[in-house]
Amino acid sequence: MSVRQTAEPEYGNWVSTKLIYGSIAMSISFFVLSSVFPIFVVGTIPFLLSFAYFAYARHMFSQRGGNLQAPIRNLVVEHLDWDGEGKVLDIGCGNAPLAIELAKRYPSAQVTGIDYWGGMWEYSKAVCERNAEIEGVAGRMNFQKASAAALPFEDEYFDAAVSNLVFHEVGDVKDKRELIKEALRVVKRGGVFAFQDLFLLKRHFGKVDDLVAMIKSWGIKEMAFADTSDSEFIPKALRLPFMVGRIRIIYGKK
């Protein structure tokens, strides 16, 4: 029997198990310390609350729980005004749910996914390839290990580019606006783009008005900014700033 008939794709979770285990480990450490210094019992509370919150969020994002990652990433696809002809790049593809969705939606497209695949994330190139195989689109997809900070492609190589919840995660670049510039560098003139991220986080992207003005100053033909955090399917509890409360989509035509 083929992989496709027997297996399900594994698209991973934006709340890593390391975050959950870290919260519970800190809570236990404070509890143990409190047997010697009773005041430390106070320290258990924030970590227990973090554990409960992150466990809830993980469940809501999970494919076998609330499955909220699918509609949130589909907001990117909906904002990409593309005819599906040519090459598309997904920057920071994780386990490739967005890249695979594009390959399924656009049967003529060649889809490339890049990611750093390291650190706290439980994603890998091998899982991307397996997921593409299961979904029956592996023949039109390729995956490469690369950084969003230095994409290994020449200028204007792609007809379209997307990214979902990645730029704010790139640790080695302080000004995350540089990552948007790098992403747009590899899009053709007249090509299209849709990037979803926590664009309202000032420490990463500066003020929204300045961000928009800056992107326009790079000679981008059409560009818009959409508030996706108020999508009605996102529960209020997940709209905290560090979760998906500050997400927006930057989209348009180069």
Ligand X SMILES: C[S@@+](CC[C@H](N)C(=O)[O-])C[C@H]1O[C@@H](n2cnc3c(N)ncnc32)[C@H](O)[C@@H]1O
Q: Judged by CB under 6 A, does residue 94 bind ligand X?
A: yes
Among 132, 148, 161, 250, binds ligand X (CB under 6 A): 148
Q: What is the dihedral of CA 224, 241, 198, 230, to 10 degrees?
A: -40
The residue nearest ligand X at its CB is 94
Q: Judged by CB under 6 A, does residue 97 bind ligand X?
A: yes
Angle (CA) 240-245-248 rounded to 5° is: 165
CA-based nearest residue to 252, from 155, 179, 162: 162
Q: Which among 57-65, 104-112, 165-173, 204-212 is the span making contact with ligand X, rule CB under 6 A?
A: 165-173
Minimum distance, C-beta of residue 15 to ligand X, in the bound complex (Å) = 9
Among 61, 117, 158, 195, binds ligand X (CB under 6 A): 117
Q: Judged by CB under 6 A, does residue 166 bind ligand X?
A: yes
Q: Judged by CB under 6 A, does residue 238 bind ligand X?
A: no
Among 51, 60, 75, 92, binds ligand X (CB under 6 A): 92
Count Cβ atoms below 10 Å from residue 226 Cβ, excluding itself: 16
User: Residue 157 is encoded by which pair of tokens?
Assistant: 């190589």
CA-based nearest residue to 61, from 99, 17, 101, 30: 17
Minimum distance, C-beta of residue 101 to ligand X, in the bound complex (Å) = 10
How long a stretch of residues is the chain? Answer: 254
Helix 208-217 vs helix 177-185: crossing angle, to nearest 10 = 30
Q: Judged by CB under 6 A, does residue 116 bind ligand X?
A: yes
Q: Which residues bind ligand X (CB under 6 A)?
A: 14, 73, 92-94, 97-98, 115-117, 121, 123, 147-149, 164-166, 169-170
